[in-house]
């Protein structure tokens, strides 16, 4: 495949695919494909409902295009798949989006095409699941007629510092030419490329990065609970521990979203098939999943200690998204906690400037608020946008609680 002939296509224009597509299409004519007509229409009208990109960022260059028309993929020969890999209700990896993507691509790929995957998976998915599906749908042979590779996304929504251009991009494929071509493409979006000839290693690396973070937060949640129950000041304990040269500062939290709450199950599921029952990995996830329930009980107790009445007091919650500075509410424990409290507290309202009616149903979400309207303000998600308001609150003697 000659350089001039590479025609890339990004499949899936969500939190991962969109930034990748936008960077790539600045440098080379690229097709951006999404299965959702609505998403495609919005993006064409320069609207990113996720709030990550502004109008000017969404202007297309180099004759690039955004489409939901599968037929246009025929003209592409380098696919980058960035679709969600969630879990089922029973915490089993749900590869249905990957499956759908492979079916779509399989029907259109031509000989010598390359298909890269960016979604977080367990080891073996790229070659054994996606590769086989592509073979089946295309009638072509993996490793002979077409090639696959894996390049784990390291997008951190809401984090401008570690954007795709600035972090190391792992690019893995088993064959040298595939690696060479992929490196050429990825060089257009990332400054630091690290190639690797074993795909399963790259798949494993990605998933354990998130597991490590999830577990460390899980540990802090557990220590937090013990401290609260024994009336020891958790923040002071951490301040003291942090003076040790090798102590790692992690904060307790309601770890939601679509990475940390999901990835441990991908790896532990895989491990179980290989005869290892993972206990460390799942222990962190278990406590993180249940933390909102612990916080629910704590808040109800705190409200009583503050001599407020859950039937009468007006209480405001700040932030409902899964983490700060994003508009994403998927797997948001702040939202779960709010819904739970709402059943108990009569006058409970929520403010989150990141949410529009579109993101959230059945909840009236304020975009702004008047401090004096509430007797207690609970900060669930510390959006930077709240900063000034919180400073103001702290200057009054208004009752105010941070979640942790």
Tokens of 59: 């202007």
Least distance CB 314 / a copy of itself (angstroms) = 32
Q: Which of residues 121-160 bind a copy of itself (CB under 8 A)?
A: 123-124, 154
In whole angstroms, what is the distance from residue 30 CA to residue 354 CA?
Answer: 30
Asked if residue 103 binds a copy of itself (CB under 8 A), the reply is no
Contacts of 323 (CB under 8 A, 6+ apart): 157, 158, 256, 257, 381
Residue 259 catalytic?
yes
Q: What share of the chain is helix, strand, coil (3-state, %, to 5)?
A: 40, 15, 45
Among positions 227, 310, 363, 371, the unique one binding a copy of itself when judged by CB under 8 A: 227
Asked if residue 45 binds a copy of itself (CB under 8 A), the reply is no
Least distance CB 164 / a copy of itself (angstroms) = 13
Are the C-beta atoms of residues 190 and 162 closer than 8 Å to each other?
Answer: no
Q: Which of residues 251-290 bind a copy of itself (CB under 8 A)?
A: 267, 270-271, 274-276, 278-281, 283-284, 286-287
Is the Cβ of residue 90 or residue 274 nearer to a copy of itself in the bound state?
274
Is the Cβ of residue 95 or residue 329 nearer to a copy of itself in the bound state?
95
Three-class SS state of 270: helix
Among positions 59, 96, 144, 247, the unique one binding a copy of itself when judged by CB under 8 A: 247
In whole angstroms, what is the distance from residue 90 CA to residue 128 CA?
Answer: 23
Least distance CB 193 / a copy of itself (angstroms) = 10
Q: For 292-295, which contacts have Cβ atoms below 8 Å and span 24 or more sequence positions?
A: 292/254, 292/333, 292/334, 292/336, 292/337, 292/340, 293/340, 294/225, 295/254, 295/337, 295/403
Least distance CB 305 / a copy of itself (angstroms) = 18
Q: For 157-163, which contacts have Cβ atoms below 8 Å and span 24 or more sequence positions?
A: 157/15, 157/50, 157/52, 157/257, 157/323, 157/326, 157/328, 158/323, 158/324, 158/325, 158/326, 163/19
Asked if residue 293 binds a copy of itself (CB under 8 A), the reply is no
Are the C-beta atoms of residues 84 and 120 closer than 8 Å to each other?
Answer: no
Is the Cβ of residue 280 or residue 306 nearer to a copy of itself in the bound state?
280
Q: Which stretch binds a copy of itself (CB under 8 A): 30-38, 102-110, 162-170, 387-395?
A: 162-170
First to last CA, the chain: 55
Asked if residue 77 binds a copy of itself (CB under 8 A), the reply is no
Least distance CB 268 / a copy of itself (angstroms) = 9
In whole angstroms, what is the distance from residue 121 CA to residue 347 CA?
Answer: 43
Residue written as tokens 């003697």?
397
Output DSSP code: residue 93.
B
Contacts of 309 (CB under 8 A, 6+ apart): none
Among positions 236, 309, 356, 396, the unique one binding a copy of itself when judged by CB under 8 A: 236
Is the Cβ of residue 68 or residue 196 nearer to a copy of itself in the bound state?
196
Size of the site for a copy of itself (CB under 8 A): 61
Which entry of 9, 130, 259, 351 is annotated as an active-site residue?
259
Least distance CB 293 / a copy of itself (angstroms) = 13
Q: Which of residues 174-213 bind a copy of itself (CB under 8 A)?
A: 192, 194, 196, 198, 200-202, 204-206, 208-209, 211-213
Least distance CB 272 / a copy of itself (angstroms) = 9
Least distance CB 263 / a copy of itself (angstroms) = 12
Q: Which stretch binds a copy of itself (CB under 8 A): 23-31, 83-91, 228-236, 332-340?
A: 228-236
- How many CB atoms lie under 10 A from the CB of residue 205? 15
Q: Which residues are catalytic?
A: 259
Q: Which residues bind a copy of itself (CB under 8 A)?
A: 123-124, 154, 162, 167-168, 170, 192, 194, 196, 198, 200-202, 204-206, 208-209, 211-213, 215-216, 218-219, 221-223, 225-227, 229-230, 232-233, 236-238, 240-241, 243-248, 267, 270-271, 274-276, 278-281, 283-284, 286-287
């Amino acid at each position: 495949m000659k350089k001039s002939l590479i025609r890339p296509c990004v499949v899936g224009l969500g939190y991962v695919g969109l930034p990748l597509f936008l960077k790539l299409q600045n440098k080379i004519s690229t097709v951006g494909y999404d299965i959702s007509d609505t998403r495609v229409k919005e993006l064409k009208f320069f609207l990113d409902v996720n709030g990550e990109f502004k109008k000017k960022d969404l202007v297309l260059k180099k004759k690039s295009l955004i489409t939901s028309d599968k037929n246009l993929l025929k003209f592409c020969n380098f696919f980058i798949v960035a679709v969600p890999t969630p879990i089922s209700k029973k915490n089993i990896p749900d590869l249905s989006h990957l499956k759908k993507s492979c079916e779509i691509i399989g029907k259109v790929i031509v000989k010598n095409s390359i298909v890269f995957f960016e979604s977080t998976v367990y080891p073996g998915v790229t070659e054994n699941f996606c590769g086989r599906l592509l073979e089946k749908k295309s009638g072509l042979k993996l490793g002979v007629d077409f090639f696959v590779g894996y390049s784990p996304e390291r997008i951190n929504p809401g984090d401008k510092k570690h954007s795709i251009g600035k972090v190391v991009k792992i690019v893995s494929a088993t064959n040298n030419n595939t690696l060479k071509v992929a490196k050429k493409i990825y060089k257009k979006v990332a400054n630091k490329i690290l190639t690797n000839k074993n795909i399963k290693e790259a798949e494993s690396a990605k998933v354990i990065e998130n597991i490590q973070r999830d577990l460390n937060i899980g540990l802090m949640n557990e220590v937090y609970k013990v401290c609260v129950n024994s009336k020891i000041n958790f923040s002071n304990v951490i301040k003291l521990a942090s003076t040790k040269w090798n102590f790692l500062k992690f904060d307790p939290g309601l770890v939601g979203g679509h990475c940390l709450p999901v990835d441990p199950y991908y790896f532990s599921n895989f491990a179980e098939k290989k005869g290892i029952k993972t206990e460390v990995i799942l222990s962190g996830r278990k406590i993180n999943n249940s933390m909102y329930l612990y916080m629910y009980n704590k808040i109800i107790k705190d409200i009583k200690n503050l001599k407020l009445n859950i039937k009468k007091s007006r209480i405001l919650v700040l932030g409902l998204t899964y983490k700060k500075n994003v508009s994403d509410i998927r797997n948001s424990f702040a939202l779960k906690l709010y819904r739970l409290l709402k059943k108990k507290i009569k006058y409970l309202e929520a403010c989150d400037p990141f949410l529009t009616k579109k993101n959230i149903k059945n909840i009236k979400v304020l975009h702004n608020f008047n401090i004096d309207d509430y007797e207690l303000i609970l900060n669930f998600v510390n959006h930077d946008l709240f900063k000034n308001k919180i400073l103001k609150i702290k200057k009054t003697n208004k009752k105010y609680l941070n979640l942790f």
